Amino acid sequence: MKIFKGLYFFGILFCAGTIRAQTDEPVTMLFAGDLTLSDNVERFVGSRTGYVFERWKPGMEADIFMANLEHPITTATERVEKKFTFKMPPAYGAILLDAGVTLVNSANNHVFDYGLKGIEDTMLYLDSLGIPYTGIGRTLSEARRPVIIEKKGRKIGFLGYYGGGDFAASRNKAGFAPRYTRYILEDVKKLRKRVDYVVVNFHWGVERAPAPDDWQLTLARRVVDAGADLIVGHHPHILQGIEQYKGAFIAYSLGNFVFGGNSLHSYETAVLKVSLSAAGANVELIPVSVRRWQPQPSTGAMRDTVLSLVRERSSHFPENLFPTGAVK
């Protein structure tokens, strides 16, 4: 496992010229895949903003809860010409707060479904909710800017990236942070000097593919070499394997969390749990059952099925999550 960069002495961390008191209690983080509170979710839930997370509020069980917000938050009506377009009504900000969402990744292929207006609205609404976001900004510099959260004396930094194209941010235009290797390596190396733990989100890969492509493996490992401790992937809509590389973990796809983009309302998925302490990071996969758009941790046969699936999809990696004994 990666050990934090810095000097520990009698419970005090000396790092980058700062002194921060740490507690013995670990920082607990949960990471979810695609969260899409639109379309079929919206039609079923209506105004019942307490419904989706009525059975389980992930953010209440963790210091940090992060998900990939797979749409803009906007009332805009002018859509981009593409097969599927999603948007979340601003009133559903209450659902994000009910779930205890700490921050979101917004660098993905649906954040621009309603053009630049949708991206700009998303930033305004998230700001009003007090929910930080990675991967989008009013300029390229802002889109690449990390979110840094300090909990229990430990600093965790977050970055997010998606592909490229017309809605990628530029020097003078809002958009998402493009997944250009040079940018990513620069950003990770800079962030590594400022924090104890680096998390990078990638919206990438092929939909429904059970395994990542070779280019993803190459990029992920280069990013770990640059200083990342955890890579969280999403976009394929299904769970993929979890690799361990030089002490870091790479979850290539966490699949759908609550996904209103299709009519499938009941399914099995998972979230990733990271417990960060002075000894390093303990990583677990937590199977989750979604029933009529309501997620909660799985039990029994459903739990075992998810663990067996991800174990099998991880088996071809030289090192992976499961031999560590970190899966509970």
Domain 25-324 has CATH 3.60.21.10: yes
pLDDT band at 233 (very low <50, low <70, confident <90, very high): very high
Rounded CA-CA distance 53/294 in Å is: 6
Question: What confidence tier does 24 reach under pLDDT thresholds 50, 70, 90?
Answer: confident
Say how many CA atoms lie within 13 Å of 87 toward its Cβ: 23
Q: Give the alpha-carbon dihedral of 210, 265, 79, 166, to 10 degrees.
A: -20
Mean pLDDT (whole number) for 282-289: 98
Q: What is the DSSP string of 261-307?
A: TSS---EEEEEEEEEEETTEEEEEEEEEEEETTEEEE--HHHHHHHH
What percent of the residues of the chain are helix, what percent strand, and what percent coil, each to the nearest 5?
25, 35, 40
Can you read off the two tokens belonging to residue 67? 């998900």
CA distances from 301 to 69, 258, 261, 288, 307 (A): 29, 21, 27, 12, 10
Q: What pTM was estimated for this model as a whole? A: 0.92
pLDDT of residue 14 exceeding 50: no
Would you list the domain boundaries of the chain? 25-324
Per-residue pLDDT tens over the stretch 123-157: 999 999 999 999 999 999 999 999 999 999 999 99
